[in-house]
Amino acid sequence: MTRSTENRILATPLVLFLLVMLGFPTILDIIYSFSEVSFENLRSPTFNGGQNYISILNDPEFWSASWFSMKFGLATAFAECILGLVLAVYLAPIIRKNTWMIAVLIMPMMIAPAMMGLMYRLLLHEFVGALPHYMFYWLGDSPAFLSRENVFTTVFTIETLQWTPFAFLLFFMAYEAIPGEMREAAAVDGARGLRMFWHIEMPMMLPTIAVAFFVRFIDGFRVFDNIFVLTGAGAGGATTSLSIYIYLSFFRSGEIGNAIAASVILFCVSFLALFFAGRLLRRSGA
């Protein structure tokens, strides 16, 4: 028996388990997405072709939620990667001498997103929130952080503050993994400071940056818990992400077929992002 055959045999139980746990629900979702289904006929859905997809594609709220998710995912991914990279590079010399700082810096991402949303809801509430109260007391005025005009900036800031430590941790490990010999050789050739970073360190960190960006984009695109706890679908629907749209369609409107069709679209977008991330990494030789 060859080594590859032995590996396949050992992996068979795990593959079968994943097929049962993930394959069956996925197939059932695809069937439901092409069916007229409600809580009354879950066991005997009526096939309706692509009517569910046509319905949601003609729904302005679906496109509004999709645009919010795309905008939110891209904005948070860019911000988190830029801030994480700056922190990793500039704090690396300090962290080498004080490794305990890593635990402090990554603490925000240890908090459950729903708890983070609840915490900021109490902090930023227009009438009982501590921050608006003290801003009004000291400055004589306070913005409505959860109003339609300001809510995107608010949820963007909260998401960025919580998940920048994730990007920082990946970038710090990649930065520390760069061989010291390469830095020494570049220094001999006259590379210093930003020149060293742009021409030596940055290219070696690009695969890690790509992974962090796509992971954070997918997470931002499918965001649900922290925004739902913070605002619901409030502020005139200004924070209705695609995940929240699916939740509202399923549990509040009872449009199960439409909700599942939207979830299939969400899955496809996430899968495509992962696919392109994999291709990018293969091309870079990572």
What CATH code would you report for 59-284?
Answer: 1.10.3720.10
pLDDT at 166: 94
pLDDT at 1: 59
Where do the structural domains in the chain lie, given as residue ranges?
Answer: 59-284
pLDDT at 70: 92
pLDDT at 284: 61
The per-residue DSSP string of the chain comes to --HHHHHHHHHHHHHHHHIIIIIHHHHHHHHHHTEE--SSSTTSPEE-TTHHHHHHHT-HHHHHHHHHHHHHHHHHHHHHHHHHHHHHHHHHHHHHH-THHHHHHTGGGGS-HHHHHHHHHHHH-TTT-HHHHHHHHHHS----TTSTTTHHHHHHHHHHHHHHHHHHHHHHHHHHTS-HHHHHHHHHTT--HHHHIIIIIHHHHHHHHHHHHHHHHHHHHT--HHHHHHHTTHHHHTT--HHHHHHIIIIIS--HHHHHHHHHHHHHHHHHHHHHHHHHHHHHT-
| pLDDT tens digit at each of 286 positions of the chain | 577 777 778 888 888 888 888 888 888 888 888 888 877 777 788 888 888 899 898 989 999 999 999 999 999 999 999 999 999 999 988 888 888 888 888 898 888 888 888 888 888 887 777 888 787 778 777 777 778 888 888 899 999 999 999 999 999 999 988 887 777 777 776 777 777 778 788 888 888 898 899 889 989 998 888 888 888 766 677 888 899 999 988 888 778 888 899 999 888 888 887 787 777 777 765 5
pLDDT at 239: 86
